[in-house]
Amino acid sequence: MEHLFTVFILSDVAPGQLPVGIQNATFLAVALALLVIISFSIAGSQAAIFSLDEKDIDVLKTKQQSSAKRILNLLEEPKEVFASMLIAKTLVNICIVVLTNYLISYYVPSTYLDTAIGIFLKFAIIAFSVLFLVEIFPRVWAAQNNLRFAFEWPVLIMIVEAIYLLLRRISRWTVAVADGFSRTVGANKAEETNSQQLDEAIEVQTDEISPEEKNIMKGIVKFGKISVKKVMRSRLYVSGVEYNTSFEALIKKVERLHYSRLPVYKGSLDEIAGVLNTKDLIPYLNDPTGLGDWHVKIRPPYFVPETKLIEDLLLDFQKRHIHFAVVVDEFGGTSGIVTMEDIIEEVIGEIKDEFDDDDLMINRIDDNNYIFEGRTMLHDMCKAMRLPIETFDAVRGDSESLGGLINELSGELPHAGDVVKTGDFAFTVMETEKNRVKTAKVTLTLTGN
């Protein structure tokens, strides 16, 4: 086989001469070096980009450099990008093997190559070029320094971007064929099936486990997949303290709200100055002059993006010894707040204290009819109706609350009496307030399975 390959490469090549159209072997050596760099870039970028986790992506979203934006754009179509890189890397590696074989055959006399040692050395050189230089080394290096490799080497990302643009149509066709095959064999349902199997396994444990304990176990299973946006309190329902509020007005507001922590803002909630722990004010209730300026009690705010997973946020809370975070959207504006209690409730269920408003409780009419407030989060609604948390994922768009879901489905501002249907569910708007759904009735129709 080696002999046939050499004959194929060196056909029409006289001893001591180059193929027609090529003046000297230096050009081929330069081409080989260029191909090695391209293959190195593809392999390293592939390992770096696709090893980025949620934290790394959140960091990139805060960067204004063009390389960060390029990486985020590539991650919008991960399958197509991966297929393009795989196709290009395969073609480039084939070219590297061919050129390396030719250059060795051209520079090394045939008397050395015809021996067993010569054949082995040729094979070793080619294997080293392909396996170590353009496969193992760039992948290991990039995996250990993924964010730095992807972000601080913009030239490599530009090469990958150019390859993707060149092979986009081929890669999309390849992905479509692979997805079709996956649907045929059911491979793309593996994760969903595993989640359902876990829920079913928890559900069948009826002898020694109470319903509350089952819900806790289900919450633990899904805990690592829930984002902050799904559990936060929207800014529409956030109560804060204006920075210029007097101490007397501050005390009255604290007594009225009964919150242990309050965000302090300047002008609007988009400019959070810090967080006030109300227990810090207790020693000065009877002697306000002893405090002087209450602003000295303001603690630095902790900002998190909407996309951060609550599993990671819980670790941050533990490391920082805090219980409160301000959630910001992609534009840097305040989206809401999230507390330690919000995270814990995802596992153990609703936590009620003596100051919680009972009006926020779910009104269950019967097994098929419920009344919720419009601000009720979709995952809370699914829990109350004993539905899978992902029930409305296909139709909710970017909405996280019941009111947002109704707006998404109707495509217009809600009015009292409006009925919106999707699948086996009907949503009846009962009350509206300031162009938003205040309360709605959710009906599970009997036509579904």
Per CATH, the number for 358-444 is 3.30.465.10
Q: Is the pTM of this model over 0.85?
A: no
> Percent of the chain, pLDDT > 90?
9
DSSP state of 18: P
Predicted confidence band at 7 (pLDDT cuts at 50, 70, 90)?
very low
Structure tokens at 155: 């030239």
Burial 125-157 (b: 16+ CB within 10 A, else e): ebeebbeebbbeebbebbeeebbebbbebbebb
- Write the burial class of residue 181 (CB in 10 Å: 0-12 exposed, 13-18 middle, 19+ buried): exposed
pLDDT, position 9 = 42
pLDDT tens sequence across 82-117: 888 888 888 888 888 888 887 777 777 777 667 777
Q: Which helix (H) or strand (E) holds 395?
A: none
**Domain extents in the chain:** 2-175, 190-225, 228-348, 358-444
Fold match, 228-348 / 358-444? no
Alpha carbon 122 to its chain centroid, in Å, reads: 45
Reference 91, options 158, 14, 39; nearest CA is 39
Q: 3-state class of 262 per DSSP? A: strand
The answer to whether domain 228-348 has CATH 3.30.365.10 is: no
- H or E element that contains 59: helix 54-61
190-212: pLDDT as tens digits: 555 555 666 666 666 555 666 66
pLDDT given for residue 8 in this prediction: 38
Q: Mean pLDDT lowest for which of 23-32, 196-205, 233-242, 400-409?
A: 196-205
Task: For residue 303, list its beta bridge partners.
Answer: 326
Rg (CA), the chain: 31
